[in-house]
Structure 1
Amino acid sequence: MPSLTITSLDGVPLIQPGDDLAEIIVSCLDRQDLQLQSGDVLVLAQKIISKAEGRFRDLADIAPSHEATALAKETCKDPRLVQAILDESSEVVRKRKGVLVVRHKRGWVMAQAGIDQSNVEGADQGRLLLLPEDPDASAAHLRAALQGKLGIAPGIVIADSFGRPFRNGTTGTAIGAAGLTSFMDIRGEKDLFGRDLMVSTVAHADEIASSASLLMGQANEGQPIVLLRGLATSPNVPASSLIRPLEEDLFR
């Protein structure tokens, strides 16, 4: 029978800009006497990717525009934070007191362009953490680095926590991936009774990210890297394939 194991890697240090995540992963695997196998997938929390890439901004260095100042009044947010959000966004989707939902420059629709201060050193002094510049590229770079060190190239998923329309709460979502099929189109395949599947597509990388988030947690768990074992190997399709084109948006 098929089975899937999900294991968090212990001993991940607080990540600093420039840290070698591949070397950190190798050290964690060694401590737990784990060896990567073909078909393994590593899921990394977005925050440690962003921290290693130095994706920080400081509120003290941000001069808000007139647009940011006006939007800050509507949403009751710091104008400097709003400016940082706008700088990372292509469009304001929804706004109200305490809420600012935007379309990120890379296509995700999310609160605050993914800018966060939780579990960020220096947040009390106004330090912000942004999303990676190109999460698919970050995943591909890490996968290649692990192959160079270990001789095995695992699938890589970079996961963030997203809210969803018409659903309460957040869940793990893939914003970057390499070495696996993020988006599966199974239209044309058969169901149990031989009927053709007409509309079935699968957000495979999102399912992986949400599975890993059960161990990662959302607060002070300190488990930002998770190993999934037992998934079938699949050709590379990046996480950017999960973004629905604007012309297919039925809620506009």
Structure 2
Amino acid sequence: MTESRPAEPHHVDAARAAPEPAELRVWGIPGLPEIGTGDHLPRLIADAARSAGVEPGDILAVTSKIVSKAENRIVRADDREQAITDETVRVVATRPRADGGTTRIVENRLGLVMAAAGVDASNTADGTVLLLPLDPDASAAAIRAAVEACVGAPVGVIITDTAGRAWREGQTDMAIGSSGVRLLDDLRGSRDAAGKLLEVTAPAVGDEIAAAADLVKGKASGIPVAAVRGLAGLLDDDAPGARSLVRPLDDDMFAQGSKEAWDEGYRAGFSAHAPEDRDRVEE
């Protein structure tokens, strides 16, 4: 009779079964002076980045406010509402406020849908407001070139701004400009850990980086630039800028506020009635 033998132990490749967790480091970059019109912002950021230990493979997140100041996007505006109107391309939704004013959600010149068109009255002199940069992607490219010349290539740069989100309270930072960074980690066509095909998964990693950076920049800390380390795999010379994240209007399922959509539907239905039916509707 053949002697039974215990089964050989099943050896698991530990590297495959438990891959090393990703590690991310995010820190604020000190040393920047108060930025004013005409300052050479790319050089100032490059010098501060070198002093803060930025290395090739890092990504910088730069608050749009200092870009606007350096690029003279400061306008006199005793009435901020007029500046919002001037920057508006399309009104999405309006709501009256308790103070008698009106909150406006609009599409601005950059294609971004934001409250107040991104016009900012904070951290600027009384009687002035800040507009968003004219071309945040170009601004990011100029900063990136200066930083790479200073610390070595590659690095990525994201220009950030604060916005609210549909369905959610509060605000978070998002990418409105970028250079050298893949902003969407498009996983469509790949498979998850269970082998299932991913059909729509495309994390907005550019916005996630912007939000993470805001945790160390803050709104009143005087630290307008942060560095992110651990995401070198997202660096890509050929990556499109942040304008690529703007959803085309035809694909936007929420192109109007609920009240505006209802009003438009009502008007369309009303105008479709025959004159005799319309008289009854009016009654």
Q: Shorter chain as normaliser: what TM range?
A: 0.7 to 0.9
Alignment of 1:62-73 (within 5 A): none
DSSP-derived class of the 2:160 partner: strand
Report the more deviating stretch, 191-200 or 150-159: 150-159
Paired residues for 1:225-244 under 5 Å: 225-234=225-234, 235=236, 236-244=239-247
Q: Deviations over 1:197-228 (max 9, x none)?
A: 0111111110100000101112x211100011
- SS of match in other structure, 2:198: coil
The one-letter amino acid paired with 2:38 is: G
* Number of the residue aligned with 1:106: 110
Deviation, structure 1 residue 105: 1.5
- Give the count of matched residue pairs: 227
Task: Map 1:1-252; keep pairs closer than 5 Å.
Answer: 1=20, 2-32=22-52, 34=53, 36-59=54-77, 80-98=79-97, 99-120=103-124, 122=125, 124=126, 126-218=127-219, 220-234=220-234, 235=236, 236-252=239-255
Mapped contact 1:38–1:152 kept (Cα < 8 A): yes
Q: Gapped runs of 5+ residues in structure 2?
A: 1-19, 98-102, 256-283
Which amino acid in 2 is paired with 1:10?
P
Cα distance in 2 for residues equivalent to 1:174 and 1:24: 21
Q: Where has structure 1 moved over 6 Å in runs of 4 or more?
A: none
The Cα of 1:143 is off from its aligned counterpart by 0.9
1:144–1:153 contact (8 Å) kept in structure 2 = no
TM-score (normalizing by structure 2): 0.76
Cross-structure match for 2:272? none
For residues 171 and 97 of structure 1, do their structure 2 counterparts lie closer, same or farther at Cα, with a shift above 3 Å needed?
same
What is the rounded CA distance, in whole Å, between the counterparts of 2:43 and 2:109 in structure 1?
A: 30
Root mean square deviation, CA, Å: 1.5
Q: CA deviation at 1:31?
A: 4.0
TM-superposed deviation, 1:153: 3.9
CA contact (8 A) 2:56 2:151 kept: no
In the aligned structure 2, how far is the partner of 1:111 from the partner of 1:181?
26
Partners of 1:233 and 1:105 in 2: CA distance: 31
| Range moving further from structure 2, 163-172 or 149-158 | 149-158
TM norm structure 1: 0.85
The Cα of 1:30 is off from its aligned counterpart by 4.6
**Greater C-alpha Rg:** 2
Deviations 1:4-44 (A, max 9, x none): 11111112211011112232223323544x1x322110000
Identity score, percent: 41
Change (3 A) 1:28 1:144: closer
